[in-house]
Structure 1
Amino acid sequence: MDSHDRFHGYFHGYSVVGLVAVVGVLFVVAAFAGGRLLRPVVPTQEKMLTYECGVDPVGEGWAHTQIRYYVYAYLYVIFAVDAIFLFPWATVFAMPGFGGTTLVEMFVFIGFLAVGLLYAWKKGVLEWA
Structure 2
Amino acid sequence: MLLTMLTIMLSMMISMMIMMLCAVISKKSKNNREKMTPFECGFDPKSSARMPFSMQFFMIAIIFLIFDVEIIIILPTIKIAQMSSMTSWFMSTSTFIIILIIGLYHEWNNGILEWSN
Q: Same fold by TM (over 0.5)?
A: yes
Question: Unpaired runs of 5+ in structure 2?
Answer: 1-38
The TM-score with structure 2 as length reference comes to 0.55
The 1:62/1:101 distance shift into structure 2, 3 A limit, reads same
Q: Supply the distance in 2 between the matched residues of 1:91 and 1:99 (Cα, whole angstroms).
A: 12
Matched, 1:71 2:80: no
- Partner SS for 1:83: helix
Matched residue, 1:114:
101
Identity among equivalent pairs (%): 25
Whether contact under 8 Å (1:92, 1:98) holds in the other structure is no
Task: Give the 3-state SS of the residue equivalent to 2:96 in structure 1.
Answer: helix
* Structure 1 stretches of at least 4 aligned residues deviating more than 3 Å after TM superposition: none
Whole-angstrom distance in 1 between the partners of 2:69 and 2:48: 37
Q: Report the TM-score, using the length of structure 1 for normalisation.
A: 0.51
Determine which structure has more spread, i.e. the larger CA radius of gyration. Answer: 2
Alpha-carbon distance between aligned partners in 2 of 1:58 and 1:98, rounded to the nearest angstrom: 66
| Structure 1: stretches of 5+ with no match in the other structure | 1-48
Aligned length: 78
- Deviation string for 1:37-94 (max 9, x for gaps)? xxxxxxxxxxxx436xxxx842332232111111111111122112211221111012
Q: Which has the higher contact order (CA 8 A, sep 6+)?
A: 2
Shift in CA distance, 103/50, structure 1 to aligned 2, threshold 3 Å: farther
Q: In structure 2, give the amino acid aligned to 1:88.
A: P
